[in-house]
Amino acid sequence: MRTKLLIINLLAILGLSAFSQEKKMVIDQSKKLGSATKSEKYSVERRGEINTPSADLKWRPILTKKIVSFEPQSPDAELIERIKAQKLIIKQQQAQNKNNGSEVSTQSVTPLVGTNYLGNENSGSSPMDNQLAISNGGWIVSVANNTIEYDNTSGATVYYNNIIAFLNDPLITSVCDPVVLYDKLADRFIFFCQTSPIDANSKILICFSKTNDPNSGWWVYTLTGNPLSLAEGFDYPKLAVSNNELYVTGNLFFEPSGTFDQAILYQIQKTGGYAGGTLNWQFWTGISGSPFTLLPVSDGQGLSYGPGCYLVATASSGSASIKLYDLTDDMSGSPSLNYYNVPTTPYSPSADASQLGTACLLDNGDCRTLSGFYLNGVIHFVFHSDIGSGWNGINYNRLTVGSLTNVSSTFGSAGSFDYSYPSVVSFATSSIDKSVMIGFGRASSTIYPEVRVVNCDNAMGWSGSTLVKSSSSFVSYTSTTNERWGDYTGTTRKHNSTSPSIWMNGMYGTPLNEWSTWVSEIHALPVGITENNNVNDLKVFPNPVIETFSVEFSLTETTDLEIGIFDITGKLVKEIYHGRGIQGDNVFSFNKANLSAGTYFLNIKNNFNTIKNEKIIIAD
């Protein structure tokens, strides 16, 4: 006899599940190795506002290349080049011996490509420095070098222009290094770029969207890129947000030598920026541990996070440790910036990558941290490093803040391909799930550069990687011997989905031997039926479905459930139930509503685990 009958109308249950709020962890202060120097507090009025002008979407501007008055150098630049040159010899010998490797997949979730389309095109610089962000409402803002674009999730471009025209400021004549993010808590976008040339007079520009629709306009603010008033400029920006603040990090380089001085952190209150009012800020210098390219991290699911934020840094020339920083409080409190050292598996840079059809190599850069996020006490972050015999692979890390421990795992194909410039986002359906998606570039002497994506699950098991966009040519746009491959790339999570979708833009080669970008939605088919002791005897009837259908199953214990309908590509079509399932027999009844005729999958999850997955047919 059934213990309970649950009848739910499909149209009435479209709300999203909520996750618990994220809190920063308490770190053992006895393990602190140093701190940093805080500046006085500053205030700046907005520079102006952008009421987004109309743009001819068929006109794709070609602008000048990024202007630098010096070439920024890693503090270990000479050492890194020696290491890479030595490993290139090893790699080339291995390639001649045809000692080819292959990817190793240890789990069954396969990333799938959904909507995909041409993104920001080459505008005169290499690499593209491409990034994107997506709002809950489905607006996509993507940037690359000198261009900015707004799209909807169907891939339709509604605005495309060069950033100079977008800013519409006669005093700003050249910009570079754009970054964009979506602040879920505020439901707004933040756009960053910096003036060019990169020198002691450079400025950083921060734009806050007026609403969650980028077409409604932006408030614009200008901060100095040389806050110490020395002969140096700012480069290599990274951005993150917490509940109340925006964080911008970068490196300061002396001119004209390009010698690295130090990393810097800007701490900025968001409220004034979103209101178009006074923007309050301060900065941190003299950061202990001398990090190079310091990465601040936001919450991975856009949840409540703070006060302050976490930051991580890896050594560009390799190391056996990770630098962790804890900005302990907001500007309104009494913050300090504390430094900790976290042991990890040794890592080192590797050789540059080959391309099919040319002797021009792709520059793999070094081992700087590229992308990351914080979720449920763990900082997830990625960079690329040597995974064997001079070949580059993805180096994915989970740093547990409370215990100051780090677990890393590498992914790649030593002997066959180089995997470089990864970007990581949460692919979790709960705050305790550690699943991620990682976008990256791949190249070798047997293929043109391509964009790919891979999944790493909660247990740190890797899927095989999926091709997102192949190239039609090698790239030798600025050099015939060594072409830059990337400073960073864009991958972002659409936050309002209980079965998350990921959006990314990566670089690929065009017939003109230059870079362009490709925007793609990434999702995954449900893992499949996972038999366990918690659920038994799933039945869906009638199947095929004409109007209504029922789902029966038995639970050994009361538990939280999520029931969703997916199409054959793995895309969530409808979340039809989020709530409790009871011990014993359960019956859920649904109306097919406006589902089109075709094949679907009904997926039942317990927390983040798929426990049942059943194919259903919707009849005409």
Boundaries of every domain in the chain: 6-20+528-618, 38-62+98-524
Report pLDDT for 18.
37
Strands 6-7, 584-591: pairing kind: parallel
What pairs with residue 313 in β-bridges? Answer: 323
* CATH architecture of structural domain 38-62+98-524: 6 Propeller (2.120)
Instruction: Report whether pLDDT(297) > 80.
Output: yes
The better pLDDT of the pair 212, 124 is held by: 212
Residues whose CB is less than 8 angstroms from the CB of residue 42 and which lie 6 or more positions away in sequence, other chains included: 280, 281, 282
**CATH tag for 6-20+528-618 (out of 1.10.357.10, 2.60.40.10, 3.30.365.10, 3.10.150.10):** 2.60.40.10
Task: Return the sign of the alpha-carbon dihedral for residues 71, 129, 372, 242.
Answer: positive
Instruction: Report whether pLDDT(60) > 70.
Output: no
292-306 b/e (C-beta count within 10 Å ≥ 16 → b): bbbbbbbbbbbbebb
Residue 517: Cβ-neighbour burial (10 angstroms; 0-12, 13-18, 19+): buried
Q: How confident is the model at residue 530 (pLDDT cuts 50, 70, 90)?
A: very low
Report pLDDT for 607.
60
Residue 62: Cβ-neighbour burial (10 angstroms; 0-12, 13-18, 19+): exposed
Whether omega for the bond prior to residue 178 falls within 30 degrees of 0, making it cis, is no
* Least confident residue range of 114-123, 379-388, 609-618: 609-618
C-alpha distances out from residue 613 to 76, 549, 604, Å: 52, 16, 6
Instruction: Report whether pLDDT(9) > 50.
Output: no
* 3-class DSSP state of 216: helix
Q: How many CA atoms lie within 13 A of 120 on its CB side?
A: 34
Instruction: Report whether pLDDT(33) > 70.
Output: yes
Reference 332, options 293, 292, 282, 296; nearest CA is: 282
Q: How confident is the model at residue 19 (pLDDT cuts 50, 70, 90)?
A: very low
Instruction: Report whether pLDDT(2) > 70.
Output: no
Instruction: Report whether pLDDT(57) > 80.
Output: no
Q: How confident is the model at residue 247 (pLDDT cuts 50, 70, 90)?
A: very high
Q: What is the mean pLDDT of residues 597-614?
A: 73
Q: How confident is the model at residue 11 (pLDDT cuts 50, 70, 90)?
A: very low
Euclidean distance between CA atoms 573 and 590, whole angstroms? 14
> pLDDT, tens digit, for every residue of 563-582?
888 776 567 788 888 888 88
Report pLDDT for 596.
84
Instruction: Report whether pLDDT(35) > 50.
Output: yes
Report pLDDT for 603.
80
Report pLDDT for 541.
84
The better pLDDT of the pair 361, 500 is held by: 361
Report pLDDT for 551.
86
The better pLDDT of the pair 312, 489 is held by: 312
Euclidean distance between CA atoms 391 and 221, whole angstroms? 43
Instruction: Report whether pLDDT(430) > 90.
Output: no
* 3-class DSSP state of 586: strand
Q: What is the mean pLDDT of residues 260-289?
A: 97
Report pLDDT for 70.
62
Instruction: Report whether pLDDT(255) > 70.
Output: yes
- Quote the mean pLDDT of the chain: 86
* Least confident residue range of 369-378, 384-393, 419-428, 551-560: 551-560
Euclidean distance between CA atoms 224 and 266, whole angstroms? 11
Count of C-beta atoms within a 10 Å radius of residue 25: 16
Euclidean distance between CA atoms 194 and 196, whole angstroms? 7
Q: Which long-range contacts (CB under 8 A, 24 or more apart) does 261-264 make?
A: 261/230, 261/232, 262/286, 262/287, 262/290, 263/287, 263/290, 263/291, 263/292, 263/293, 263/294, 263/313, 264/227, 264/234
Instruction: Report whether pLDDT(478) > 90.
Output: no
Percent of the chain topping pLDDT 90: 59
* Least confident residue range of 232-246, 361-375, 471-485, 569-583: 569-583
Report pLDDT for 15.
30
Instruction: Report whether pLDDT(66) > 60.
Output: no
> pLDDT, tens digit, for every residue of 485-521?
987 778 999 876 556 789 999 999 999 999 999 999 9
* Least confident residue range of 68-77, 162-171, 441-450: 68-77
Size (the chain), residues:
620
Instruction: Report whether pLDDT(592) > 90.
Output: no
Report pLDDT for 12.
28
C-alpha distances out from residue 448 to 226, 341, 353, Å: 40, 39, 11
Instruction: Report whether pLDDT(63) > 50.
Output: no
Residues whose CB is less than 8 angstroms from the CB of residue 77 and which lie 6 or more positions away in sequence, other chains included: none
Task: Return the sign of the alpha-carbon dihedral for residues 292, 181, 114, 447.
Answer: negative
* Least confident residue range of 194-198, 417-421, 585-589: 585-589
Report pLDDT for 548.
86
Report pLDDT for 580.
82
Token digits of residue 250: 């970068």
Report pLDDT for 329.
96
Report pLDDT for 326.
97
Instruction: Report whether pLDDT(441) > 90.
Output: yes
DSSP conformation class of 196:
S
> pLDDT, tens digit, for every residue of 110-128?
888 989 999 998 877 788 8
